[in-house]
Amino acid sequence: MATGTIQVGDKSLELPVRTGTIGPDVVDISKFYAGTGAFTYDPGFTSTASCESKITYIDGDEGILLYRGYPIEQLAEHGDFLETCYLLLYGELPTNAQKEEFDYNVTRHTMVHDQMTRFFTGFRRDAHPMAIMVASVGALSAFYHDSTDISDEHQRLIAQIRMIAKMPTLAAMAYKYSIGQPFVYPKNDLDYASNFLNMCFAVPCEDYKVNPVLSRALDRIFILHADHEQNASTSTVRLAGSSGANPFACIAAGIACLWGPAHGGANEAALKMLGEIGTPDNVAKYVAKAKDKNDPFRLMGFGHRVYKNYDPRAKIMQKTTHEVLAELGIKDDPLLDVAMELEQIALKDEYFIEKKLYPNIDFYSGITLKAMGFPTSMFTVLFALARTVGWIAQWKEMIEDPSHKIGRPRQLYVGADKRDYANIGQRG
């Protein structure tokens, strides 16, 4: 094994350098503190691998995303979401029989405990659906006690299936609750995406026919969002899970992290920004704002911590957006006009080229989801729904690794030195 040597003060330490299947080598610093008495410092984890994983690979410079080795383009073109779930969870694409069994199991777990409906009614109608998701997914641990023992392999398996199966039901309930319509129960004869569309848009008083083009587009959106290696919410799930917390609680933590505008909340923020820009002739003004060091404004849907090239998901998403708009007969969408103009200007602008800021997946997903009829407040909920399988697969990988330990970062302390307590009258 290759090694690297580091000198800290008068101490010299030889560190193993590990080589993965693909990607940069990793210097193993796990014995760094024991060997040198010093910590390493890397806020934002820009240079730190937090775990070993076999699930997802990203080459940000080349714009490559692989799930278990398969390029995202091929999975999005030829596969379906539940097949992707199987792949992420178990490492291989399913055979016909395995797929049939997996789809059957997910479909048979889509209903939620009826008591959950009363839990929902405790919320204000104008509650953000992400707030409802954080709470209701966390609350699953109070409803499904028979799948919270993480030391029991069977319970872990049931929890994984339950989570993937119930997320669309909870997400649709959060939406229905916000618009004051009755909850629609899952229908077992529909595929995963169609079932979700039905639960969101059907009403009990008339028939609703799922548009297959929209359902295929939504399924593709789910595939694109299914996993993204050690991003903020996945790392949150792993950290929460490292303490032994039950999987429902861990996924609720992931949802909370995803909510932020620098992460999953960017699709909502991107659409709001396009609306604020309003018309293509305003684009240059907003690009100038984004470049202004004294203005905190950023182009939402642009830039990525890892991708320093076009986000491969954004390319597929752009095609899906056009398919959905064509199917719905939306020819002149002002938001799309603004988006196209913004993309063109930003891609040619020196600032964006130099900083390698390209459109990310959130740039186009908002336009597509809006055209399908989802309100902006639901965008991040759909992201959470799709990412649940990635979170669960990463959590499963961690729990099944016998060497896993509680995540516990250290710090560079810069606060007050040790000092003595002074009585209140004697404080200056």
Q: For ligand CMC, what does the binding mask look like between residues 307 and 346, x meaning CB under 6 A? A: ----------------------------------------
Site size for ligand CMC (CB under 6 A): 20
Nearest position to ligand CMC, beta carbon: 303
Angle between helices 153-179 and 247-258 (to 10 degrees): 40
- Residues numbered 230 to 249 that lie near ligand CMC (CB under 6 A) are 231
Structure tokens at 188: 């077992």
Residue of 174, 162, 168, 170 whose CA lies nearest to 247:
162
Please state, in angstroms and rounded to a whole number, the distance separating the CA atoms of residues 324 and 370.
10
Write out the H or E segment, with its range, that includes residue 63: none
- Residues numbered 342 to 361 that lie near ligand CMC (CB under 6 A) are 355, 357, 360-361
Q: Which is nearer to ligand CMC, 168 or 264 (CB)?
A: 264
Question: Quick one: which segment of 83-91, 101-109, 141-149, 292-300 binds ligand CMC (CB under 6 A)?
Answer: 292-300
Q: Which is nearer to ligand CMC, 94 or 261 (CB)?
A: 261
Q: Residue 42 interacts with ligand CMC (CB under 6 A)?
A: no
Residue of 256, 228, 172, 148 whose CA lies nearest to 393:
228
Are the beta carbons of 265 and 366 closer than 8 angstroms? no
Q: Which is nearer to ligand CMC, 67 or 302 (CB)?
A: 302
CA distances 34 to 2, 3, 39, 41, 411, Å, are: 20, 17, 9, 16, 16
Q: Residue 300 interacts with ligand CMC (CB under 6 A)?
A: yes
Q: Residue 139 interacts with ligand CMC (CB under 6 A)?
A: no
| Cβ 379 to ligand CMC shortest distance, Å | 11
| Cβ 93 to ligand CMC shortest distance, Å | 25
Residue of 280, 381, 266 whose CA lies nearest to 333:
280
Q: Residue 301 interacts with ligand CMC (CB under 6 A)?
A: yes
Q: Which is nearer to ligand CMC, 28 or 59 (CB)?
A: 59
Residue of 75, 344, 388, 152 whose CA lies nearest to 254:
388
Question: Which one from 304, 322, 401, 404 is the annotated catalytic residue?
Answer: 304
Are the beta carbons of 362 and 382 closer than 8 angstroms? no
Question: Quick one: which segment of 215-223, 240-248, 275-283, 294-302 binds ligand CMC (CB under 6 A)?
Answer: 294-302
362 is catalytic: yes
Binding-site member from 263, 315, 370, 396 for ligand CMC (CB under 6 A): 263
| Cβ 47 to ligand CMC shortest distance, Å | 12
- Residues numbered 199 to 228 that lie near ligand CMC (CB under 6 A) are 228
- Helix, coil or strand: residue 113: coil
322 is catalytic: no
Structure tokens at 5: 């040597």
| Cβ 351 to ligand CMC shortest distance, Å | 7
Residue of 177, 171, 175 whose CA lies nearest to 255:
171
Q: Which is nearer to ligand CMC, 103 or 229 (CB)?
A: 229
Q: Which is nearer to ligand CMC, 86 or 363 (CB)?
A: 363
Binding-site member from 168, 186, 241, 303 for ligand CMC (CB under 6 A): 303
Q: Residue 299 interacts with ligand CMC (CB under 6 A)?
A: yes
Q: Which is nearer to ligand CMC, 82 or 224 (CB)?
A: 224
CB atoms within 10 A of CB 13: 17
- Residues numbered 361 to 390 that lie near ligand CMC (CB under 6 A) are 361-362
Please state, in angstroms and rounded to a whole number, the distance separating the CA atoms of residues 163 and 155.
12
CA distances 108 to 33, 94, 161, 187, 226, Å, are: 49, 19, 9, 10, 21
Question: Which one from 281, 362, 401, 417 is the annotated catalytic residue?
Answer: 362
Q: Which is nearer to ligand CMC, 219 or 362 (CB)?
A: 362
| Cβ 215 to ligand CMC shortest distance, Å | 23
Place of tokens 């199966």: 165
94: left (phi over 0), alpha (psi -120 to 50) or beta: beta
- Helix, coil or strand: residue 6: strand
- Helix, coil or strand: residue 428: coil
Binding site for ligand CMC (CB under 6 A): 228, 231, 262-264, 266, 290, 298-305, 355, 357, 360-362
Q: Which residues are catalytic?
A: 304, 362
